[in-house]
Amino acid sequence: MKYYPIYLDLRDRPCLIVGGGHVSERKALSLLKAGANVTVISPSLTQKLQELSQSGKIIHLLKTFDDKDLTGAFLVIAATDSREVNTSIGSLCKKRNILVNVITSPGESSFIVPSVVERGELLIAVSTSGMSPALSKKIRQELEERYGPEYEAFLGRMSVLRARLIDEVKDDGVRREILQALADSDVISLLKEGKIHDADHRIAEIVRLKQK
């Protein structure tokens, strides 16, 4: 099966997790990190989910799942211990055009969650279309070694610089040329080596030269 790769903006979106185990805990943490409004339905919770509920970071409904719980949900994760319940939730969501991930069966899901390397604003997603999570994990680990924290540092600088260039450089072509030159430069290598001053100097140098 071919999937369409996409990154969702979940900020302030109502997301529902059915199940209170460790898988649900991981899903809740990742959804919260994306800015989602998370509700968990389960008769019991892991210690971490309890803490999130008590601190008000998630809403916990102490009950079993009911069809009415899907009302208003943008995205649903079916993560109970029961394959039958998860399958039922997946079917209901598809009928209502609600995005759903069924952890016990990717084929019953409308989306699957890739293995992700995160370096600040840099997100690298790896998927084997559900065929081999172990291979996804292996590739993710290789990418984590290849793309270190220097990429987060670089993108932080590019975010600030890009906003500045929009104000100061009116020519779109020149702005693109500057940003491409920086991406092709040794700035990332300098950051990786801890040569912060040299990296910032190189950025300023490239910007100055490209504006002439």
- In this structure, is residue 142 part of a structural domain? no
Average pLDDT, the chain: 95
**Run of H or E including 41:** strand 37-41
Least Cα distance to 64 among 36, 35, 84 occurs for 84
- In this structure, is residue 144 part of a structural domain? no
pLDDT confidence of residue 193 = 97
* Distance between CA atoms of residues 25 and 17, nearest Å: 9
Last residue of a domain, one of 113, 129, 162: 113
My answer on whether 158 and 72 are in the same domain is no
My answer on whether 21 and 104 are in the same domain is yes
In this predicted model, which residue has the larger pLDDT, 129 or 147? 147
- In this structure, is residue 204 part of a structural domain? yes
My answer on whether 108 and 156 are in the same domain is no
pLDDT confidence of residue 211 = 84
Residues 6+ apart with CB under 8 A from 166: 175
Taking residues 121-127, report their average pLDDT. 95
- In this structure, is residue 130 part of a structural domain? no
Least Cα distance to 102 among 189, 169, 19 occurs for 19
Per the structure, the complete domain to which residue 48 belongs is given by 14-113
My answer on whether 169 and 96 are in the same domain is no
Residues paired with residue 78 on neighbouring β-strands, in sequence order:
18, 102
Residues paired with residue 75 on neighbouring β-strands, in sequence order:
15, 99
Res. 73 pLDDT band, cuts 50 70 90: very high
Taking residues 110-115, report their average pLDDT. 93
Res. 105 pLDDT band, cuts 50 70 90: confident
My answer on whether 36 and 100 are in the same domain is yes
My answer on whether 84 and 173 are in the same domain is no
Whether the predicted pLDDT of 80 surpasses 70: yes
Count how many domains the chain has.
2
Res. 51 pLDDT band, cuts 50 70 90: very high
